[in-house]
Amino acid sequence: MNSPIGVFDSGIGGLTVVKHLASHLRDESIVYFGDTARVPYGSKSEETVKRFAFENTKFLLKHGVKLVVVACNTASAVALDDLQRSFDVPVVGMIEPGARAAVRLTRRRSVGVIGTLATIESSSYERAIHAEDASVKTTSRPCPLFVPLAEEGWVSHPVSEAVAREYLDEFKTANIDVLVLGCTHYPVLRNIIQRAIGEHVRLVDSGEEAVKEVTGILKREGLEAAGGGEVYRHFYVSDIPRKFREIGERFLGRPIDGLTLVPQSDVPWYERAEERRC
């Protein structure tokens, strides 16, 4: 089936998932929506993030996607079940795949989880990890400043290093050997996080794990694209495309060609948005 895969995030973070999708599923087209006008989601209420998640999903469906990847842990934590119940296409989130990988990898039976305030407060990772193995100890903390640092592209900046040391210090006493990057923005800061936590701790990129789930669903449901067709990647943002392109390209390691601005409005913007190529 040659329809595209839809992916959304609050901003640039979901590109960490697109990167894995594009390298594992070369025949699949992708429509990405980064809600750059409303980022961050992680400090917003459950009700607001749920509304955004529904709007973003409807926007992607308008573009004919065959499967939706919620490339945002915050939206996955608060809205995944409702999205899966409400739409006919498969909807894949970040939490379960990340939790499964963490349980598989930990030897000390002690896993750390970092994410946005909303994700950590939802306890979704703890629930998912304990559903896999109740004996695994979890230690979690929100790291909200990582999101603007990633959006700013400060991937090897002394300020990001200092923030990472401050946030991750408390994990040292928890004896963890696996740390889940429970926010799709965080892999952008992977090197800094690894240095701050120490080389002995394995980092789990939930987005990378979720791509394995996407691959399985496409196969099982007969949704895979037939090879040899046109493959495209279209990127939509709700604000400031210049910055998204600059940082996104650096991160994806390839040019972002099809970038379109979808302006917000006071009615659900996806319904009457005038799209503008930029």
Supply the minimum distance, in Å, between the C-beta of residue 200 and ligand DGL. Answer: 25
Supply the minimum distance, in Å, between the C-beta of residue 147 and ligand DGL. Answer: 5
Q: Are 212 and 220 in contact (CB under 8 A)?
A: no
Quote the CA–CA distance of 93 and 155 in Å, as a whole number. Answer: 25
Looking up tokens 């915050």 gives 74
Q: Is 248 in the site for ligand DGL (CB under 6 A)?
A: no
Supply the minimum distance, in Å, between the C-beta of residue 273 and ligand DGL. Answer: 20
The one among 74, 122, 124, 238 contacting ligand DGL by CB under 6 A = 74
Interface positions, 77-136, toward ligand DGL (CB under 6 A):
116, 119
Residue facing ligand DGL at closest CB distance: 42
Instruction: Closer to ligand DGL by CB, 67 or 147: give it.
Output: 147
What DSSP string describes 6-42? EEEESSSTTHHHHHHHHHH-TT--EEEEE-TTT---T
> Active-site residue numbers?
72, 183
The one among 138, 140, 184, 238 contacting ligand DGL by CB under 6 A = 184
The greatest distance separating any two alpha carbons of the chain, rounded to the nearest whole angstrom, comes to: 53
Interface positions, 21-60, toward ligand DGL (CB under 6 A):
39-42
Only one of the segments 5-13, 53-61, 191-199, 262-270 lies at the binding site for ligand DGL (rule: CB under 6 A); that segment is 5-13
List CB contacts of 73: < 8 A, sequence separation 6 or more. Answer: 94, 95, 98, 115, 116, 119, 182, 183, 184, 206
Nearest CA-CA partner of 225 in 64, 28, 26:
28
What angle (nearest 5°) sits at the alpha carbon of residue 237, between those of residues 258 and 17? 80
Residues that bind ligand DGL (CB under 6 A): 9-10, 13, 39-42, 72-74, 116, 119, 147, 183-185
